[in-house]
Amino acid sequence: MADKIAVLIPCYNESKTVAKVIRDMKKALPEAVIYVYDNNSTDGTDEIARKEGAVVRYEYQQGKGNVIRSMFRDIDAQCYLMVDGDDTYPAEFAAEMCSKVLEKGTDMVVGDRLSSTYFTENKRPFHNFGNSIVRGSINRLFKSNIKDIMTGYRAMSYRFVKTFPVLSRNFEIETEMTIHAIDKNMQVENVVIEYRDRPEGSESKLNTYADGFKVLKTIVKMFKNYKPLEFFSLIAAVLFVVGMVFFIPVLVHFLEVGTVEKIPTLIVSGFVILTAIICWFSGIILSTLVNQHKQDFEYQTQMVTNRYKDLFPEKK
């Protein structure tokens, strides 16, 4: 059976807040089916969720990315609303976000915390700084205007969910989702939401420095994968400049006296310039492969669209 709206709540030790999140979502979206995927909780999160009427399932590979992979594979719905189980995202914005998917055909609706109360509610200054850095980096690298890159509050279409390859295992998954939507030219909208910090006694699973490094590493990796020509051209330009800095004095000296005294410098600069040329051509080749992948993706999207019409004939 396919759902009209599936509320997806990934949970790891959220016993203090998960009941309220489920109750709030039931009130905001009475027609939705609420799924709680328990990720090896030891505090009874799954039992609390089950008592509140949620469909409880389990993912035993640790990490939010692994949970989301299972959710996306298992569940068929017209609209997917993903929300954290820590009660930091108010449910009153859920209906507006889902309506954009169901009525306007939006592929991803981003719950934008950063344009409202995030910087005042969040008590971890490095998280505030990190969110700003990530948002600025991705919007510049990918020429986009996403207001909140790492929010855990999103509404998504069937097309997005079934064509998104989940590669990350942990909290960098939100960054990966955002970049995928931008690169594949999917329709993305921002909805400004209120954000509240975790209630007292509820502990964050994030490690500011370790997870921040993983997110930055993901950005670099995906910039390389999605825009290889720009990535390798940048490396090639740096290497070419370095090579020329060492090569030009040798060339000037040769033109003045007719001999080359610094042969090792000439050899090293030649190899650096040659490496720059190889990087540039590598970027061209990989860019061709990426364009081919985009063509294949369009074919895959058409197949997903056909399956969606079979699941929901009333949407034809």
pLDDT (tens digit per residue) in 51-104 = 999 999 999 999 999 999 999 999 999 999 999 999 999 999 999 999 999 999
Q: What is the 3-state secondary structure (H, E, C) of the chain?
A: CCEEEEEEEEECCCCCCHHHHHHHHHHHCCCCEEEEEECCCCCCHHHHHHHCCCEEEECCCCCHHHHHHHHHHHCCEEEEEECCCCCCCCHHHHHHHHHHHHHHCCCEEEEECCCCCHHHHCCCHHHHHHHHHHHHHHHHHCCCCCCCCCCCCEEEEHHHHHHCCCCCCCCCHHHHHHHHHHHCCCCEEEEECCCCCCCCCCCCCCCHHHHHHHHHHHHHHHHHHHCHHHHHHHHHHHHHHHHHHHHHHHHHHHHHHCCCCCHHHHHHHHHHHHHHHHHHHHHHHHHHHHHHHHHHHHHHHHHHHHHHHHHCHHHC
Return the closest-CA partner of residue 273 out of 241, 304, 299. Answer: 241
Q: How wide is the angle at C-alpha 156 spanned by C-alphas 292 and 147, nearest 5°?
A: 90
Counting residues of the chain whose pLDDT is more than 90, the rounded percentage is 61
pLDDT averaged over every residue in the chain: 89
pLDDT for the residue 11: 95
Return the closest-CA partner of residue 86 out of 40, 22, 130. Answer: 22
pLDDT for the residue 204: 60
pLDDT for the residue 259: 80
pLDDT for the residue 172: 84
Report, as an integer, the average pLDDT of 253-266: 84
Residues 6+ apart with CB under 8 A from 274: none
- Between 5-14, 96-105, 161-170, the lowest mean confidence (pLDDT) is in 161-170
- By residue count, the chain amounts to 316
What is the token pair recorded at 234? 């940048």
58/135 Cα distance (integer angstroms): 32
Q: What is the pLDDT of residues 109-153, one digit of tens each?
A: 999 988 887 766 665 655 667 777 888 888 888 888 888 888 999
> Within a 13 Å sphere around the CA of 255, how many CA atoms are in the beta-carbon half?
6
- Between 111-125, 193-207, 248-262, the lowest mean confidence (pLDDT) is in 193-207
If you compute the radius of gyration of the chain from its CA atoms, what whole number of angstroms results?
A: 24
188/165 Cα distance (integer angstroms): 18
* Residue with more model confidence, 209 or 269: 269
pLDDT at 215 over 80: no
Q: What is the pLDDT of residues 216-231, one digit of tens each?
A: 888 888 899 999 999 9
pLDDT for the residue 208: 58
pLDDT for the residue 116: 81
pTM of the model: 0.83
pLDDT band at 213 (very low <50, low <70, confident <90, very high): confident
* Residue with more model confidence, 92 or 169: 92
pLDDT for the residue 3: 85
pLDDT for the residue 159: 95
